[in-house]
């Protein structure tokens, strides 16, 4: 993968050090930042340094980390918590897992720095139970850090104590939302609650709590060591530093990349990603997962940061980037995401619980060829209403896939409704499979594979598909060696 | 303003003649979707009470005793219970409720909220098909269909009658470069096509 445009900060050690050996991390400059904080800086200085760096939460919302810490530091309490949000539920994004598996100590160190800054002494890592290797390495890392005395009581000979434990998620996407995450850590259903009070005031066990994402934390030791001025020179006007993206889908170079904020989408996809796979036409890229939106060929020159992505009806999200080509139907993709949110909505607030279902049903109707123009108008109205009224981030961003694809691909929606055609050839109810007479050699392979026996024809004669009986499974198309079956 | 829009929206939905026609056409499907949370092909029935090994209950009770406090550890205990029993039938939920001093309704509420917890036993070889976006765009749906067909038409989250295989769809296993990904137990199959499914199942027969 092209290294030229990449700058590795959060992933600086991943792949270079032995994640199961603390000495390897220390040799790479590990725990230097924590030592610097405790020995040379006051908690206020640490927070000021974070504010000056311009680091913003990498979990998706982009809230300035230093400001969050400043809030928590401002509240008086005997116990304050630092929580690491490692409940990476966004399908198609796996940077948190890569960091936890490749460099767990950087997260522990940053949590200790956070605790020092806000005056806390307890930390919890909330991690997906589906990441066994990351859990194993975190446990090893915590054990070794306690042995070395960089976690636990009297760190670096000071009176600063910091204890860490791990709590497991149980597969709920909404738990990435910080209030839902806190409920889940307390052993309850992971339903969000209304803010304020913000967790910084009253969070885990009603104590001041800061919740930071893995990638945000991983960048912190580097910022402390190299200084805020180094960090805020990288990036765009509004968004400093780098972002890890998970490039996937129909792209040549699949995998994690870390690029400076402000890079254009074109550079990410065409240069770093090596362009669309199989030489096909670039159609769209989905950023921010199910809560995000599709950026299209029109947006290729958009500079990537929180504000410019929001202007395109999308979000930065946790950094998934799924590239789609001409063969992907945007209505079907929207439906896929709504199917996901419909499944993952916690059901607490009505706009999200019922709204997701109604949007899904409307999209389903359109892909079945039963949509009307009213449906398209209703979709837009409903999407806006949900955005305005839902309780938490999950609901407020849930209509994004629909809104953003409609922005550019309204024609595609209309084609489904008016012409009853799927231009990309994905929505099977709107397709017809037919045999091209000139190409068919009568090998009978298609007739044999057909699950409903709707293809007839003798050996070495042109075959015919009975459209009334065809279930449009596409098995014949995949099987035919002579490209004699087409869908249209 | 937004609220007005929402109200109009719902009115629009219920009187729209096209919607009514659609409901008529898709009646069966809609009924299945809206009135019942049970989508199992066998229909809803109260399962027989399971008899599970006593020593597993003892182990679970011992685990509860090691917790510093019970408050806030319900999810932790349920994780442990599922790792011991393999699934969380009513009997186990009752036991957990009693151990933790929580009402059964609360325990059930938590178990049914999280997709990681299962109330029916998994197959001996649990098949997990990744349905993350990266897998979806390269055809994971067809792979699911193929597994269902090969395993006698069981639905997702169901077990074959002989208890050997169960099918589940996962959100993302974080192996997007290998999409579509299928995991059977610990074994990972990469870039799976519908044609490969028969051979994959044969590996476990």
Query: Looking at the domain assignment, is residue B120 inside a domain?
Result: no
Q: Is B194 on the interface with A (CB under 8 A)?
A: yes
Residue B182 dihedral angles phi and psi, to the nearest 5°: -125, 135
Under 8 Å between Cβ of A219 and A235: no
Please indicate, yes or no, whether residues B87 and B149 belong to a single structural domain of this protein.
Answer: no
State the alpha helices, DSSP H only, in A119-196: 132-148, 178-185
pTM over 0.90? The answer is: no
Please indicate, yes or no, whether residues B129 and B87 belong to a single structural domain of this protein.
Answer: no
CB contact under 8 A, A170 and B142: no
Please indicate, yes or no, whether residues B141 and B174 belong to a single structural domain of this protein.
Answer: yes
Say which residues have a Cβ less than 8 Å from residue B49's Cβ, sequence separation at least 6.
B90, B91
Q: Residues of B numbered 49-108 whose beta carbons fall under 8 angstroms of chain A's beta carbons: which are they?
A: 71-76, 78-79
From chain B, the residues in CB contact with A333 under 8 A are 137
Predicted pLDDT of residue B16: 57
Please indicate, yes or no, whether residues B105 and B131 belong to a single structural domain of this protein.
Answer: no
Query: Looking at the domain assignment, is residue B135 inside a domain?
Result: yes
CB contact under 8 A, B116 and A384: no
Query: What total number of domains does chain B contain?
Result: 2
Please write the tens of the pLDDT for every residue from B103-131.
999 999 999 999 889 998 888 999 999 88
- Closest C-alpha among A181, A189, A230, A187 to residue A209: A181
What is the C-alpha separation between A334 and A337, in angstroms, rounded?
Answer: 5
Query: Looking at the domain assignment, is residue B19 inside a domain?
Result: no
From chain B, the residues in CB contact with A188 under 8 A are 74, 110
Query: Looking at the domain assignment, is residue B6 inside a domain?
Result: no
Please indicate, yes or no, whether residues B188 and B154 belong to a single structural domain of this protein.
Answer: yes
Query: Looking at the domain assignment, is residue B12 inside a domain?
Result: no
What is the C-alpha separation between A55 and A117, in angstroms, rounded?
Answer: 15
Please write the tens of the pLDDT for every residue from B136-160.
888 898 899 999 989 988 988 888 9
Question: Helices A214-226 and A104-118 meet at what angle, rounded to 10?
Answer: 70
CB contact under 8 A, B9 and A382: yes
Please indicate, yes or no, whether residues B99 and B145 belong to a single structural domain of this protein.
Answer: no
- Closest C-alpha among B161, B157, B60 to residue B116: B157
Under 8 Å between Cβ of A136 and A19: no
Q: What is the ipTM of this complex?
A: 0.86
What is the C-alpha separation between A299 and A316, in angstroms, rounded?
Answer: 14
Residue B113 dihedral angles phi and psi, to the nearest 5°: -75, -40
Query: Looking at the domain assignment, is residue B7 inside a domain?
Result: no
Q: Which residue of B has its CA nearest to A186?
A: B72
CB contact under 8 A, A370 and B25: yes
From chain B, the residues in CB contact with A382 under 8 A are 6, 9
Query: Looking at the domain assignment, is residue B167 inside a domain?
Result: yes
Please indicate, yes or no, whether residues B133 and B196 belong to a single structural domain of this protein.
Answer: yes
Under 8 Å between Cβ of B34 and B72: no
Please indicate, yes or no, whether residues B108 and B130 belong to a single structural domain of this protein.
Answer: no
Say which residues have a Cβ less than 8 Å from residue B47's Cβ, sequence separation at least 6.
B89, B90, B120
From chain B, the residues in CB contact with A93 under 8 A are 172, 174
- Segments of chain B with pLDDT less than 50: 1-13, 30-36
Cα angle A168, A189, B46 (rounded to 5 degrees) comes to 105
Domains of chain A, each with CATH number or no CATH: 22-231 (3.40.50.11540), 242-325 (3.10.20.600), 330-419 (1.20.1440.230), 432-487 (3.30.70.20)
Q: Across the strands, what pairs with B129? A: B169, B182
Q: Which domain holds residue B96?
A: 54-113
What is the C-alpha separation between A20 and A15, in angstroms, rounded?
Answer: 12
Please write the tens of the pLDDT for every residue from A339-386.
999 999 999 999 999 999 999 999 999 999 999 999 999 999 999 999
Please indicate, yes or no, whether residues B154 and B100 belong to a single structural domain of this protein.
Answer: no
CB contact under 8 A, A249 and B132: no
What is the C-alpha separation between A29 and A223, in angstroms, rounded?
Answer: 12
Q: Which residue of A has its CA nearest to B70?
A: A187
Please indicate, yes or no, whether residues B131 and B181 belong to a single structural domain of this protein.
Answer: yes
From chain B, the residues in CB contact with A122 under 8 A are none
Q: Fill in the DSSP letter of residue A90.
A: -
Whichever domain contains B189, its CATH number is 3.40.30.10
Query: Which residue of B134, B148, B178, B191 to mutate against A (max A Cβ within 10 Å)?
Result: B134
Please indicate, yes or no, whether residues B147 and B97 belong to a single structural domain of this protein.
Answer: no
Query: Looking at the domain assignment, is residue B109 inside a domain?
Result: yes
């Amino acid at each position: 993968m092209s290294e030229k445009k990449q700058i590795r900060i959060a992933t600086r050690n991943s792949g270079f050090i032995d994640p199961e050996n603390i000495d390897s991390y220390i040799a790479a400059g590990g725990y230097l930042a924590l030592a610097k904080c405790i020995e040379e800086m006051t908690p206020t200085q640490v927070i000021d340094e974070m504010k000056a760096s311009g680091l913003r939460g990498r979990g998706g919302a982009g809230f300035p980390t230093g400001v969050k810490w400043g809030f928590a530091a401002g509240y008086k309490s005997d116990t304050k918590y630092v929580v690491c949000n490692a409940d990476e539920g966004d399908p198609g994004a796996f940077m948190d897992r890569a960091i936890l598996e490749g460099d767990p100590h950087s997260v522990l160190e940053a949590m200790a720095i956070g605790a020092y800054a806000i005056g806390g002494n307890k930390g919890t890592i909330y991690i997906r139970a589906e990441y066994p290797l990351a859990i194993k390495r975190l446990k090893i890392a915590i054990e070794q850090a306690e042995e070395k005395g960089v976690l636990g009581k009297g760190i670096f000979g000071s009176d600063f104590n910091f204890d860490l434990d791990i709590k497991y998620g149980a597969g709920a996407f909404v738990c990435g939302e910080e209030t839902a995450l806190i409920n889940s850590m307390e052993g309850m259903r992971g339903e969000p609650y209304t803010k304020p009070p913000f967790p910084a005031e009253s969070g885990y066990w009603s104590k001041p709590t800061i919740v930071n994402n893995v990638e945000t934390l991983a960048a912190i030791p580097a910022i402390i060591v190299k200084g805020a001025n180094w960090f805020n020179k990288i990036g765009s006007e509004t968004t400093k530093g780098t972002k890890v993206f998970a490039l996937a889908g129909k792209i040549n170079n699949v995998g994690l990349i870390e690029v400076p904020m402000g890079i254009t989408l074109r550079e990410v996809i065409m240069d770093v990603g090596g362009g669309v796979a199989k030489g096909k036409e670039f159609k769209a890229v989905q950023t921010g997962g199910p809560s995000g939106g599709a950026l299209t060929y029109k947006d290729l020159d958009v500079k990537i940061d929180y504000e410019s992505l929001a202007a395109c009806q999308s979000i930065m999200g946790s950094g998934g980037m799924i590239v789609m080509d001409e063969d992907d139907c945007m209505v079907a993709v929207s439906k896929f995401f709504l199917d996901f949110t419909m499944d993952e909505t916690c059901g607490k607030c009505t706009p999200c619980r019922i709204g997701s279902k109604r949007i899904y049903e409307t999209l389903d109707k359109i892909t079945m060829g039963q949509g009307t123009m009213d449906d398209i108008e209703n979709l837009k109205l409903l999407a806006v209403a949900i955005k305005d009224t839902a309780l938490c981030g999950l609901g407020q961003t849930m209509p994004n896939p629909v809104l953003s694809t409609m922005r550019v691909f309204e024609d595609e929606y209309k084609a489904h409704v008016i012409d009853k055609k799927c231009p990309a050839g994905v929505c099977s109810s709107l397709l017809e499979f037919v045999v091209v007479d000139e190409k068919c050699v009568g090998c009978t392979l298609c007739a044999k594979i057909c699950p409903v026996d709707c293809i007839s024809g003798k050996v070495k004669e042109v075959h015919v598909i009975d459209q009334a009986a065809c279930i449009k499974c596409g098995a014949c198309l995949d099987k035919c060696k002579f490209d004699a079956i087409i869908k249209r | 303003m937004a609220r007005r829009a929402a109200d109009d929206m719902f009115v629009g939905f219920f009187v729209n003649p096209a919607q009514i026609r659609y409901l008529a056409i898709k009646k069966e499907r809609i009924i299945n979707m809206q009135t019942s949370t049970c989508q199992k092909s066998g229909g809803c029935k109260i399962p027989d009470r399971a008899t599970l090994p006593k020593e597993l209950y003892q182990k679970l009770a011992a685990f509860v005793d090691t917790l510093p406090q019970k408050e806030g550890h319900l999810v932790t205990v349920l994780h442990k219970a599922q790792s011991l029993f393999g699934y969380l039938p009513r009997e186990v939920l009752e036991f957990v409720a009693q151990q933790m001093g929580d009402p059964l309704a609360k325990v059930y509420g938590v178990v049914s909220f999280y997709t990681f917890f299962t109330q029916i036993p998994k197959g001996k070889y649990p098949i997990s098909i990744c349905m993350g976006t990266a897998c979806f765009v390269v055809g994971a749906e067809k792979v699911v269909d193929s597994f269902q067909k090969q395993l006698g038409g069981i639905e997702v989250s169901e077990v074959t009658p002989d208890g050997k295989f169960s099918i589940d769809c996962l959100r993302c296993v974080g192996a997007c470069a290998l999409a579509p990904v299928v995991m059977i137990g610990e074994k990972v199959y990469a870039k799976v096509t519908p044609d490969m499914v028969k051979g994959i199942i044969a590996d476990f027969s």
